Amino acid sequence: MDTFNFEVRRSRIQGRGLFALTDLPARRKLGELGGELITEREARRRARGRASVMIVEFGDGTALDATRLGTGFKYVNHSCEPNAYMRLCRGRVEFYSLREIAAGEELTCDYGETHHDGRLPCRCGSARCRGAL
Ligand SMILES: [Zn+2]
């Protein structure tokens, strides 16, 4: 498998983001989120009242909490017009490129539904922005 290099730095979208240090090909696995495998119930308990969590629910009663133990991929911000996507597979969250990504670009993916329930304004800056998360 190819290894690509990424860097966490300040993002124009929000807080910190994950940026490509090299050009990335389309449709390629970029890396994994990592973190702590927990129950969905525990995930919801942890998410309550916290502004910033990186928890992915698998829909089978389990979830991955990357907030403390995850890799740099926990800094991937949401965009309504993303250049990457998450693939959920038995307790793992893998990131793939949707298209070619140039060195220096911020990695983004579409979070879909979030625990914010549409109350968090989206600042992705895309012309196709849905407005909220
Ligand atoms: Zn948006």
Q: Are 17 and 7 in contact (CB under 8 A)?
A: no
For residue 18, what are the domain limits? Answer: 6-109
* Cα 70 to ligand 1 centre (Å): 24
* Cα 121 to ligand 1 centre (Å): 8
Residue 104 lies in a domain: yes
The residues placing their C-beta within 5 Å of ligand 1, an ion, are 80, 122, 124, 129
CA 74 – CA 55 distance, rounded (Å) = 9
Residue 36 lies in a domain: yes
User: What is the domain-level CATH number for residue 103?
Assistant: 2.170.270.10
DSSP code, position 45: H
| Model confidence, pTM | 0.90
32-70 confidence digits (pLDDT tens): 999 999 999 999 999 887 777 889 999 999 999 999 999
CA 26 – CA 98 distance, rounded (Å) = 6
* Cα 82 to ligand 1 centre (Å): 9
Residue 115 lies in a domain: no
* Cα 1 to ligand 1 centre (Å): 32
Quote the number of domains for the chain.
1
Q: With a cut of 60, say whether residue 1 has pLDDT above it.
A: no
